[in-house]
Amino acid sequence: MVDPVSASTVLTPEMITASQAGLKAVGAGLAVGLTGVGTGLAEMCIGTAAVGATAENRDMFGLALIFTVIPETIVIFGLVVALLLLF
Amino acid sequence: MLAPRQMSRLLIAGTKEQMGAVIAELYRHRLFHIEDFVGQEEYAGFKLGMPLAGATEASNDLITIRAATNAFGVQTDGAPHGRPVSGSELRRQLQTELPELDAQADELVTRRTRLETRAKDLESRSAELEPFAALPIDLDLYRGYESIAVLAGHLPTDVAITAQHEKAFFGDKKGGFIAVFTPIADREAVERQLLDAGFSAVRIPDETGPAADAIARYRAEQASSEKEVEGINRQLGNLKEIHASFLLAADELLTTDVERAEAPLRFAVTDLAFVAEGWAPTSEVPEITAALERVTQGRIHVEELAIDYDHDAVPVEYNNPSFSHPTELLMDVYSRPNYREVDPTLLVSIVFPVFFGIILGDVGYGLILLALSFLLRKYLAGEAGKLLLDNLRNASISSTIFGLIYSEIFGFALPWKPLVFSRHLNIGGEAHGHGPDAASMLIIAIWIGILHITLGRLISVVNHSRMDHGRHRIQAVIAQLGWLAFMWGLLIVIWSMFPIPFMPNLGAVGGPIVLGLNLAGVLGAVMILLGVVAVGQENALELVELPTVVSHVLSYARLVAVGLSSVAIAMVVNYIALGMFINPALENLTPVGIVLILVGIVVLLLGHTLNTALGILGGGLHSIRLHYVEFFTKFYKGGGKKYNPFGMKRLYTTEE
């Protein structure tokens, strides 16, 4: 049995604010980290193919670059979410 | 501006006697882009021309010159060495000097190859002898027996052999070497035992005396060969000093000879006449016509043909103010514009540096990059390198200006408050005020995205109305307007539902009408619906792409997000270096403190170097990506053919 009086003394408003801030930071970290992994996985395959294509035909470079950076948007969204969470 | 240089399709016809003079004149002007004759239908009865007289000799001489250029290691870096020489003088020099020069180069290179082969051979022989030097047996004792077999080879460790034998073993940490003498009858048994112990046989060299002596002899011979090679290289180097400018000039002269002599291969000819088709800038046509008439005394026919855009690939030459020239490199990486579409080079040349500055707005980094863009000029030779550095220069100037606006230098604040938005993060308790205006800046970035994409779609309307025909033209234009209606309709619906700073608040426009949407919301919904219909009527598959409207606009948030992460890195570096190492050590100076200060300085330098490199990547790659992926995909086709006029820019020689 938890004594309601002692429970309220254990959990002060400051602690609640602090833990909220902490969870926000964790959320921001997860947003950047997981989207970074996602972007990395997506760019892995595209990047290898792009390098191969460029090695065969130098003119492919521009197009290859575009294909490679398309998944970049995922991590940018993560970064934006993190910034909105933190500030 | 916003369009490539206007081109005219020219047809030049004349008698064969005039062909040489016409080719020389066209070559000199360097304006005529030859369209190769490939046996088109309208040229029935014509055939490919034959090279002019002297083509073979010039080609042969050119090959000789290039061989000598290679032998001497002359670099063609595209920079003139002193004063250009006159063509006729060079021709006389070629007659007398070329055969001699060729013989000289040939002889030296042959001798060098022979010596190098010899040195390699000697090296492998002494390597072969090396292990035998460790055993105290003369080399002639390994050979010449009738009843004794000799085995020699590498063996990891010494091994006991049961059959009758004599052996010599030498071993150290790297392994061992063994020589075994055994009666021929026992050879197999010995060999098996050795192989079990990891034996690998080597050939017994055909030498006499102690191995060490033979090695020394070979080494000495090898050294003298190598010295001779060095001498030859020095000689070649001297010859390079003397002849480099002659070779480069001769190469240029003969290349022009060959190109001119082989031009008829691209013309249509009959027994008596020739016809050349090609392109020239419209503004230069009168000059070309006049020049050709002058050299042929009027016996030439130059005609401007009508351009059939569906079949003719018009060569594209950029027509931009000099400010935009560096950006042409970024355009060519993607694709050269088509002749009839809007050439966005000017827009890119303005917007790209601005984006770069928004991302990397820092006075310190901006000035470093500005310095780099001038210092690297020595190492990045060539036209492309120069243009790339020009781009970097423009971008870094913009970065410095935005640094002043953001009040940032290497992550520190300048003595004034940020003029528009603050990017100062609260890292290490250094920041003052209320922290960065991240949300406000993100909204501004979204605005930039909305306007940039709208501009792209509007250009697409212009392109489609210029380049398409009939029903398809109307459909395509309506589809492009549909994309705009969809995007702005979506925005209006959002504005009518949520108040957003820096964006219009349409929540108060009338009360709710249907589904909780007010008047503005309904208007937006209608626009979305119209947009979907307009896009779908051109190509229903395009509807799948509609969500990209959202993702492409939001993608512009990177302008702020990437920039803030770069500021964060700079501030973290400053905090680690100053806040954790240097400042505490300075308060109480001890020997350990001095070491800490040095560590702090290293962290500071390394961190900011890394961040500068990341800044170029982040600022440059993300800015150009926003153009390539978000902006160009809205309207840009590309695929234009490069304008490549017949002729050469002379660097080393003058006209004859």
Chain segment B164-182, per-residue pLDDT in tens: 888 888 887 777 888 888 8
Strands, E assignment, B423-572:
none
Using pLDDT thresholds of 50, 70 and 90, give the confidence band for residue B36.
confident
Chain B residues closer than 8 Å to A87 by CB:
435-436, 438-439
Task: Among B74-78, B148-152, B470-474, B504-508, name the one with the lowest average pLDDT.
Answer: B74-78
Torsion angle, alpha carbons of B344, B349, B351, B354, to 10: 180
pLDDT over threshold 90, residue B457: yes
Reduced to 3 states (helix: H, G, I; strand: E, B; else coil), residue B408 is strand
Chain B residues closer than 8 Å to A46 by CB:
none
Q: Which of A70-79, B109-118, B182-191, B422-431 is most confident?
A: B109-118
- pTM tops 0.80, yes or no: no
Q: Which of B442, B560, B629 sits opposite A70 (nearest CB)?
A: B629
| pLDDT value at residue B144 | 80
CB B265 within 8 A of CB B51: yes
Interchain proximity A80–B557, CB inside 8 Å? yes
CB B563 within 8 A of CB B556: no
Report the alpha-carbon distance of residue B63 to residue B125 in Å, rounded. Answer: 38
Counting every residue written for chain B, the total comes to: 656
Interchain proximity A79–B561, CB inside 8 Å? yes
- Closest to B223 (Cα-Cα) out of B119, B130, B308, B133: B119
pLDDT over threshold 60, residue B91: yes
Task: Give the minimum alpha-carbon distance from A12 to chain B in angstroms, rounded to a whole number.
Answer: 25
Interchain proximity B436–A87, CB inside 8 Å? yes
- Start-to-end CA distance of chain A, whole Å, equals 40
Token couple for B493: 């619906």
pLDDT over threshold 80, residue B252: yes
Interchain proximity B438–A70, CB inside 8 Å? no
- Closest to B259 (Cα-Cα) out of B62, B409, B411, B402: B62
Question: Which residue is closest to A74 within chain B, CA to CA?
Answer: B555
| pLDDT value at residue B482 | 93
- Closest to B77 (Cα-Cα) out of B656, B655, B652, B493: B652
Task: Give the minimum alpha-carbon distance from B331 to chain A in angstroms, rounded to a whole number.
Answer: 9
Quick: pLDDT tens for A47-65.
999 999 999 988 788 778 8
**B303 burial via Cβ count (<10 Å: 0-12, 13-18, 19+):** exposed
Q: Average pLDDT for residues B532-559, to the nearest whole number?
A: 90
Chain A residues closer than 8 Å to B435 by CB:
87
- For B2, phi then psi, to 5°, come to 60, 5
Percentage of residues in chain B with pLDDT exceeding 90?
A: 17
Interchain proximity B333–A80, CB inside 8 Å? no
pLDDT over threshold 80, residue B405: yes
Interchain proximity B628–A83, CB inside 8 Å? no
Interchain proximity A62–B335, CB inside 8 Å? yes
Q: Average pLDDT for residues B64-91, to the nearest whole number?
A: 74
> Which pairing describes strands B273-281 and B408-409: parallel, antiparallel, or unpaired?
unpaired
Report the alpha-carbon distance of residue A70 to residue B559 in Å, rounded. Answer: 16
- The strand pairing partners of B281, in sequence order, are B7
B217-232 in b/e burial notation, b at 16+ Cβ within 10 A? bbeebbeebbebbeeb
Quick: pLDDT tens for B174-218.
778 888 888 888 888 888 888 888 888 888 888 788 888 888 888
Interchain proximity A73–B551, CB inside 8 Å? yes
Reduced to 3 states (helix: H, G, I; strand: E, B; else coil), residue B99 is helix
- The contacts of residue B96 (CB under 8 Å, 6+ apart) are none
Residues of A with CB under 8 A from a CB of B: 61-63, 65-66, 69-70, 72-73, 76-77, 79-80, 83-84, 86-87
Q: Which of A61, A62, A76 sits opposite B561 (nearest CB)?
A: A76
CB B345 within 8 A of CB B647: no
Interchain proximity B554–A65, CB inside 8 Å? no
Q: Average pLDDT for residues B627-645, to the nearest whole number?
A: 88
Using pLDDT thresholds of 50, 70 and 90, give the confidence band for residue B454.
very high
| pLDDT value at residue B429 | 58
Report CA B200 to chain centroid distance, whole Å: 50
Quick: pLDDT tens for B271-312.
888 888 899 999 988 988 888 888 888 888 888 888 888 788
Distances (CA, A) of B389 to B58, B78, B356, B380, B620: 38, 18, 14, 8, 12
Chain A residues closer than 8 Å to B621 by CB:
69
Residues of B with CB under 8 A from a CB of A: 333-335, 435-436, 438-439, 442, 551, 554-555, 557-558, 560-562, 564-565, 621-622, 625, 628-629
**B655 burial via Cβ count (<10 Å: 0-12, 13-18, 19+):** exposed
| pLDDT value at residue B368 | 93
Interchain proximity B558–A61, CB inside 8 Å? no
Quick: pLDDT tens for B235-250.
888 888 877 778 888 8
Quick: pLDDT tens for B351-396.
999 999 999 989 999 999 999 999 988 887 778 888 889 999 999 9
Using pLDDT thresholds of 50, 70 and 90, give the confidence band for residue A3.
low
Report CA B630 to chain centroid distance, whole Å: 23
- For B175, phi then psi, to 5°, come to 135, -175
Residue of A59, A68, A76, A81 to mutate, interface with B, max B Cβ within 10 Å: A76
Interchain proximity B333–A65, CB inside 8 Å? yes
Question: Which residue is closest to A81 within chain B, CA to CA?
Answer: B561
Token couple for B377: 């000029």
Quick: pLDDT tens for B126-166.
888 888 888 888 888 887 888 888 888 888 888 888 878 88
Using pLDDT thresholds of 50, 70 and 90, give the confidence band for residue A37.
very high
Phi-psi group of B497: left, alpha or beta (phi > 0 → left; psi -120 to 50 → alpha; rest → beta): alpha
Token couple for B75: 């670099």
CB B162 within 8 A of CB B193: yes
Percentage of residues in chain B with pLDDT exceeding 70?
A: 97
Quick: pLDDT tens for B216-225.
888 898 889 8
- Most distant CA atoms of chain B, gap in Å: 119
Element (H, E) at B300: strand B300-305
Domain boundary assignment for chain A: 28-86
Q: Which of B557, B560, B625 sits opposite A69 (nearest CB)?
A: B625
| pLDDT value at residue B400 | 94
